[in-house]
Amino acid sequence: MSAAWAFHCLQLSPDADLRTIRRRYSELLKINRPEDNPQGFQQLRAAYEICLAFAREGAEQGDLPAARDSAAGPALQNEAEQHATERPAVALAAGLPDDSANAADAIDVVDAGTPAQDCDAAIEAHPPEPAPRPRTSPTFIEVDNLSEAELARAPAMRPAAAVVDELLHVDARADTDAVARWLVQCPEVLSLVTRDAVELELLHRMTGGARLSVRGLEVLGATFGWRQLGFERRLLQQGLAPAQLDTVLQGLGQARAEAEFTAHLAAGKALGNAGSWNFGAEGQLRDLQRLHAKRGETPRFAQALLPGRVDRAYRLIQLYTQRYGASSALQIFGREATAFWTSLHPENGINRRLYRLRLSQVSLIVLLLYLVLPLAYLFPSTLSGAQKLDALGQWSEAWLLRIWPIVLAVVTAHALLRYYGQNRERLGYLKQQALRALLPWLAPRRALPLQLGLAPLLIASGHFVGTALPFALGLMLSSLFGVAALSTALIGGIAVGALLSPHWPWPASNTFIPAMVCICLLIAWTVDWLSGTGAVRQQAKQDAQWQQPAR
Amino acid sequence: MIVGIDLGTTHSLIGYWSEDGSRLLPNALGELLTPSVVGVTDNDEILVGRSALEQLPLRPERTVAAFKRYMGSARETRLGKRGYRPEELSALVLKSLLADVKAQTGELPREAVVSVPAYFSDAQRKATRNAAEIAGIKVERLINEPTAAALAYGLQEKHDEAKFLVLDLGGGTFDVSLLESFDGVMEVHASAGDNFLGGEDFVDLLLEAALRELRVDAAGLQPGTRATLRARLERLKCQLSQHGEAHAALPLGDRTQDWSISEARFEQLAQPLLARMRAPIERALRDSGTRPQELDQIVLVGGASRMPMVSRLVTRMFGRLPLRHIHPDQTVALGACAMAGMKSRDHAFREIVMTDVCPYTLGIEISQTDSHQHVHHGLFSPIIERNTVIPASRVARYSPMRDFQAQLELNVYQGESPEVAQNVFLGKLEIPLPSRRAGENPIDVRFTYDVNGLLEVQALVVSTRSEHQLVIEQNPGLLKPEEIQRRLAELAALKVHPREQQANLALLTRAGRLYEEHTAALRQEIGAGLLQFKAALETQQPRQIEAARRYLGALLDQIEGESSPLPP
């Protein structure tokens, strides 16, 4: 069903203007009446719509439609129209038996294949005869109980800017239905003539940063149809430039997101899973506010080094997305910041930024240990200054040559294993199994007796009474506050080292190495754990909190 | 002869196309508007029209009004011994209208054009057609009410090219149609509406407000009192249309209270209803891509459009005064008569063609698999988009969900939501499929929407060329053909009160009602008038009866405090 067919069917040349097409259509319509000849009417209508679209486009572009390839099919104004007119064409082209049968039955349309001839036949068969139109006395009058004075009495239309000013003022009131009540009475919004201007002005204001309440936005959205299909097209028809449209839509989205955010904070309710936040719902809302306040800037890398920070930010973003949608979350947390926190969370795969973060975290912890351990060793001892210095030197040498390379190797291997995919699942499984076996023993309740049981070993090594014991006790205490696994491993490592070496703690002997390996493994794991990726912990929590949608 | 019928929620009219245009026919009481009320007397005689309306406050359990709102549903109303479906009640009204035609023209019409709200669904349209069948008349054509009104308006319109908006606020429905006329073609561009918004809702609003202000518990009201109150408030509403303030005496159980309301206050109360009128107007404009400035006229139709607040709303929306027929509640009927003339190929219509659109989207339920291989069920796939010019026929191709699927269930819906759950279910078709892979087993679904707004669904299994047709009669809201025949026979057996006596009966019932409502002196006066009228009836002299009737009517009018029971 091409444009050529359509014009041929209406017996017009392809450069016919709108007026001619309509006149021709009205002539043919009087022969192919919809109630008498439904088939013929449908063909005529399809041809008419194609011709109209073609002529309108030609009028817009200012060139002759005839110059274009008419066989290529009509260039229609919108998809819907194309849909409407092209569908029957498909059915006809497919040659369905019902179609050909019906077409044959049709009075003025003989064969679907050569519809042009049908129209010719139809016109010749029934030449249109002019007949007088019926005359009736005019019975339609202007409404009688509403005088011209009513129009004059109607309040003079204010400029759109003033209306929007008032609207924003009304919305600022705490009253929830103020906007709804105001809208019903606002003559400028009521009038279909001025409401477009008001709407455009309002959208521009919102693009400029004007804020509305959620309820206000809802009411306005319902009034102006901001959530309806075709809203963008309507704005374009109202004379908005396409470039402006984007800004306006963004402004509308931003206003909606801000309104939701404000309402959420005011309600003081957590997004979900508030139990894991430091201070319940309040802590979560504070986190939300902090993230919102810094939405404009890319977060500094150092912020991510704080334990648990990445996980909390990422989970907040996720929860917010679940509740209010991705576009709202982007508006609230900022595009840059959202990308930053998301990329740093291992759930989304290893990337260079995450690797850098891991390395920095591990280095930081190892550095801390490097500083703390000698202090614990040196200060309570009775060594002379020179001996202390000597011991520190040996300690540093051991760090540089043995511990640090091992730490790096372990972290790198771990990252590479995850990065190169196929072992990721197996690794996760192994980790899960190990944790399942170990965790009960490393839990604070059991770690303390275990560590106390190791204490005699430390004492038996002879060097520890004045030096390592306070340090070990400190670790034991720390086990009470949650890092039980770390302290147990440290004490265990030291104890093993002490058993193997008579010169513990700082010998040149290689027996030192197994203890250090033990420590480093534990460090890597702890870093993982602190930054919230411990698969078991995470999974267990999620399972308990909400049902994941099946994928 | 083809008659045109406006089967309204509160009133119905009948007429035909004559040499000098549409001609409406009065009923036995000489009124053009027959109330769409049906009642059963104590001797099981059927009452229709004014006499039934008068009986409503006296015997609310034996009388029913506004049943058009239940068209297309299986709801039965019990009147006396028998339950009546909405189709049957409508059929009784139609029968009474047809009897009026026969009394005046001498021939009983066999065919009719019946108007329905544009936003009536398929089931409601079919129910209307069934009602006519039960009344023993063939519906030649169903015409949308605003289209009919536009036809009535367009015929007198002299300009050749015009775009106009018709707003039809009737007793129970609100319809909007946007039309364009050029070269004798009247084309509906878009229709929208609200099936539950009309004059009745405004009366409900008044009733609610009155009860609230008089501190009366609405739940404790007797149905009879309620009907009386509604009748009084209906009259109050009509008075409000003419004067800025009106009052009514409301009988509440043992006492009568005077209640007054100003037009401004009424408008304030009606804000939610007025707000609901905006949505269809905006949608019709948006759908047709018409800017308000392009409209040449805005035409108000329907009895409820007499309320000044309605014209005020329209004036405010469009910044100009709307047009209205002198008798807005006759416009639709006049249009229906014009359509009847068109159907009977009157020479006046040789140069006029009217095209209409289907007011809502029609489609089927589908399931779809998204990019995550997640299957979504219960989605709506439109086949005929709303505001497509009718008659229209559209085909869409679908394939089964699974390989070697044995059967396909085609659920037909109408509505605008992407999920079928929010749309209206029309019917179901089960298609046996040949055993093939899903990709090689397409089904062509063809929707054909005819000029009457009735839908036909055909499904073609492409591989076997076997065809299936949907008869949407599994809908519980519709009667089966044999049931229609049965009810036709049953209704024919019912005793309908003789037409010649209807005017007398209506007056007697009305006098009886007023007698019950009033006390002391007024009651005596009514009693005396009633006695005089009954005496005149016994003489069986038409002239004397006529005189007595006129006298009693004037007396009752005076008592009810106005010149006529309903403004023309």
Does a structural domain hold residue B226?
no
Residue A505 preceded by cis peptide, ω within 30: yes
Q: Model confidence over A495-529: pLDDT tens digits?
A: 666 665 555 444 444 445 555 556 656 665 665 55
Q: Which residues of chain A carry a pLDDT beneath 70?
A: 1, 59-156, 174-176, 227-230, 273-279, 349-350, 370-383, 385, 392, 400, 415-429, 435, 438-448, 451, 455-491, 493-551
* Residue finishing a domain among B357, B381, B401: B357
* Residue finishing a domain among B357, B389, B413: B357
Among residues A273, A229, A220, A254, the alpha carbon closest in space to that of A324 is found at A254
Residue A346 preceded by cis peptide, ω within 30: no
B321, B401: one domain: no
Which of B54, B88, B133, B145 is an active site residue?
B145
| Distance of alpha carbon B66 from alpha carbon B54, whole angstroms | 15
- pLDDT on residue A228: 61
| Distance of alpha carbon A527 from alpha carbon A328, whole angstroms | 32
- pLDDT on residue B319: 81
- pLDDT on residue B333: 92
B280, B347: one domain: yes
B302, B171: one domain: yes
Residue-range definition of the domain harbouring residue B410: 362-464
Does a structural domain hold residue B336?
yes
Does a structural domain hold residue B67?
yes
Q: Which residues contact B316 (CB under 8 A, 6 or more apart)?
A: A154, A187, A190, A191
Q: Model confidence over A324-372: pLDDT tens digits?
A: 877 788 888 888 888 888 888 877 766 777 777 877 777 777 777 766 6
From first CA to last CA, the distance across chain B in angstroms is: 27
B14, B88: one domain: yes
Contacting residues of A for B22, CB less than 8 Å apart: 136
**Which CATH number is B41's domain given?**
3.30.420.40
- pLDDT on residue B542: 78
**Which residue in B has a C-alpha nearest to residue A49's C-alpha?**
B389
Which of B182, B316, B458 lies closest to A154 in CB terms? B316
B322, B382: one domain: no
Give the phi and the psi of residue B15 in degrees, each rounded to 5: -170, 180
**CA of B462 to nearest chain A CA: how many angstroms apart?**
9
- pLDDT on residue A57: 76
Q: Is the Cα dihedral A269, A270, A275, A277 positive or negative?
A: negative
* Cβ within 8 Å, pair A145-B311: yes
Distances (CA, A) of B518 to B66, B514, B522, B558: 27, 6, 6, 13
| ipTM greater than 0.90 | no
From first CA to last CA, the distance across chain A in angstroms is: 44
Does a structural domain hold residue B134?
yes
Does a structural domain hold residue B240?
no
- pLDDT on residue A486: 63
* Cβ within 8 Å, pair A98-B446: yes
B171, B97: one domain: yes
B76, B152: one domain: yes
Interface A–B counts its CB contacts (< 8 A) at 159
**Residue A403 DSSP symbol:** I
Contacting residues of A for B396, CB less than 8 Å apart: 87
B345, B279: one domain: yes
Which of B271, B353, B391 lies closest to A184 in CB terms? B271
* Residue finishing a domain among B357, B385, B410: B357
**Which CATH number is B394's domain given?**
2.60.34.10
* Cβ within 8 Å, pair B451-A38: yes
Give the phi and the psi of residue B111 in degrees, each rounded to 5: -125, 150
B398, B319: one domain: no
B335, B416: one domain: no
Q: Is the pTM higher than 0.80?
A: no
Contacting residues of A for B275, CB less than 8 Å apart: 184
Q: Which amino acid belongs to residue A259?
A: A
Q: How many CB atoms lie within 10 A of CB A55?
A: 22
B393, B310: one domain: no
Residue of A49, A83, A105, A139 to mutate when probing chain B, most B C-beta within 10 A:
A139
Does a structural domain hold residue B506?
yes
Let me know if B567 is exposed, middle or buried by CB neighbors in 10 A (0-12, 13-18, 19+).
Answer: middle
Q: Is B136 on the interface with A (CB under 8 A)?
A: no
Between helix B86-105 and helix B481-493 the angle, nearest 10°, is: 60
**pLDDT tens across the length of chain B (568 residues):** 889 999 998 899 999 988 888 889 998 888 889 999 999 888 888 888 888 888 888 888 888 988 888 888 888 888 888 888 888 899 999 999 998 898 888 888 889 999 998 888 888 888 898 899 888 898 888 998 888 888 888 776 656 788 889 999 988 889 999 988 888 888 889 888 888 899 999 999 999 999 888 888 877 778 888 888 888 898 898 888 888 888 888 887 777 788 889 988 998 889 889 888 888 898 888 888 888 888 888 888 888 888 888 888 888 888 888 888 778 888 899 999 988 988 887 777 777 888 888 888 899 998 887 666 667 788 888 999 888 888 888 999 998 888 888 888 889 988 877 778 878 888 888 888 888 888 888 899 999 888 877 888 889 998 888 888 876 554 556 677 777 778 777 777 777 766 667 777 788 888 877 777 776 777 788 888 888 888 888 777 778 888 888 888 888 887 776 433 443 3
- For the record, the structure tokens of A149 come out as 């004075």
B59, B181: one domain: yes
Among residues B125, B146, B161, B127, the alpha carbon closest in space to that of B357 is found at B146
**Residue B320 DSSP symbol:** S
Does a structural domain hold residue B543?
yes
Give catalytic status of residue B419 as yes or no: no
Does a structural domain hold residue B77?
yes
Helix, strand, coil distribution of chain A in percent, nearest 5: 70, 0, 30
Structural domain count of chain B = 3
- pLDDT on residue B76: 85
